[in-house]
Amino acid sequence: IASFPEVNKNKIVTYGASQGGALSVVASALSGKVKKSYSAGSSYSCLQNRVEIGSGIFEPLNKFLTTYPQHTETVFDTLTYFDMNNMVSLLKAPASFMVGLSDPICLPHFVYSIYEHTPSEKEVMLVPFAPHCIADQYRDFVYNEFAQL
């Protein structure tokens, strides 16, 4: 997108929720051209623990390893390549995170873990009673920041 002549390269941001939140962080970390990353309820962190408890999309993998435990080490070794707690170490842009404290899919402590591992300038909004979604207050915060770019 930065190669398009109509794009202001000083105003590129990423924004997403759940898997999109994880992709927002990944895109920012890998591109080096992003002014700020916004992520609500990011998934894909603490993957070994998520598989062990069968959280969200990792329930089928939990069932697979219950049936075929001999593959556990290989699966967990492979998952480390996709764990956001490892990927976020590449992030240089400022980052903003929202943690929905009632999210049953991307559990709060998994999302907060990404925030804790972020080495760049960062901020977090903890939203009580927020389920698996972008809370209105975070959406309003992000849109207000967009307006000031």
Which are the catalytic amino acids? 18, 103, 132
Element (H, E) at 127: strand 122-127
Phi, psi of 27 (to 5 degrees): -60, -40
- What is the Cα Rg of the chain in Å? 16
Tokens standing for residue 89 = 């170490």
* Cα distances (Å, whole numbers) of residue 29 to 16, 24, 68, 134: 14, 9, 35, 22
Nearest-angstrom CA–CA distance, 50 and 133: 19
